[in-house]
Amino acid sequence: MSGYTLTWKAGGEGQGPGAMGQGIDGASLRPDTLGVLDRDAVARVDLFAGQTVVTLGDLFDIAGEPGDCLTLRNTPPLDHLGALMQRGELIIEGDAGDNLGASMAGGLIRVHGSAGARVGGPHVTSRRGMSGGEILIDGNAGDFAGFLMRRGLIAIGGASGHSVGYRMIAGSIVLMQKPVDHPGLEMQRGSIVCLNKDALAGGGRHLIEGGVISAGAMPALLLVLRRLRELRWPVDGPHPKSLPGGEGAGAGIDLPRIAAGKWRLWSGDKFELNKGEVLQWLS
């Protein structure tokens, strides 16, 4: 897939608050808007750091050509990366800041690192979180991942912070590690899927325990995991044998193993619509 690669200049040519990435709003770094511009126009794109404006060319070396893919290298964890994005693929070779993919509507974000708080949450211009698209994070995610998400998929390879899926309206969140607390608090619909059988998902009086169920009894769950396998996630890093991602790196989701397996099911939030679900893979 063609597109631009933006490599952060060490220290940044621009002086002031943007030089080290402090306070820079990364909302302009979107494949769908930058991918249609020529290289000179990309260099002239404004980035905001509070009331200071710097141009993209001041902070990044730009390589590549117009296209659907945008790759960020050596970038400090900027906030709002991929916010409001509608299509294309954003690859972050490093960490992302807060509000990754805020109110995005489509496309794919891959983070080969960790992300900050409110992954897929609402943008300042919206009352809802992401309404489509996919966010795949190899590392950890901060608090409130999936806050108010309306649709789409978030996958977190490492640890997730507090209250994953808080007030989610719908969509899917897949976790490779145990949620810290209260997954799906105040969720209306949607699925939170924990693929680590050693972890204990659930936990919270807002959820209703539904017992153990065969994966084949819920084919929709398999569709989400199939999608992750198509995206070859997770592809990097060590995967403990306790995970159905295979026993080694690069194996991706082992769908037949999951399809034949068992899941623990919780429904919730019982104080809301009660159409959400939290699932933990058992065997």
**Which residues of this chain interact with other proteins, rule CB under 8 A?**
32-33, 35-36, 66-68, 86-87, 105-107, 132-134, 151-153, 170-172, 189, 191, 213-214, 216-220, 222-224, 226-227, 230-231, 255-256, 258-259, 275
CA-closest candidate to residue 108, choices 129, 87, 93: 87
Least separation in angstroms between CB 133 and other proteins = 7
Least separation in angstroms between CB 222 and other proteins = 4
Torsions phi, psi for 183 (to 5 deg): -65, 135
Q: Which residues pair with 165 in a beta bridge?
A: none
Least separation in angstroms between CB 19 and other proteins = 30
CA of 54: how far to CAs of 27, 30, 79, 221, 261, in Å?
A: 13, 17, 15, 45, 52
CB nearer to other proteins: give 54 or 192: 192
CB nearer to other proteins: give 11 or 219: 219
CB nearer to other proteins: give 86 or 126: 86
Q: Which residues pair with 64 in a beta bridge?
A: 4
Least separation in angstroms between CB 99 and other proteins = 19
CB nearer to other proteins: give 136 or 201: 136
Least separation in angstroms between CB 61 and other proteins = 22
Q: For residues 160 and 274, what is the distance between their CA atoms, to the nearest angstrom?
A: 23
107 with 87: CB under 8 angstroms?
Answer: yes
CB nearer to other proteins: give 16 or 256: 256
> Pairing between strand 52-55 and 60-64?
unpaired
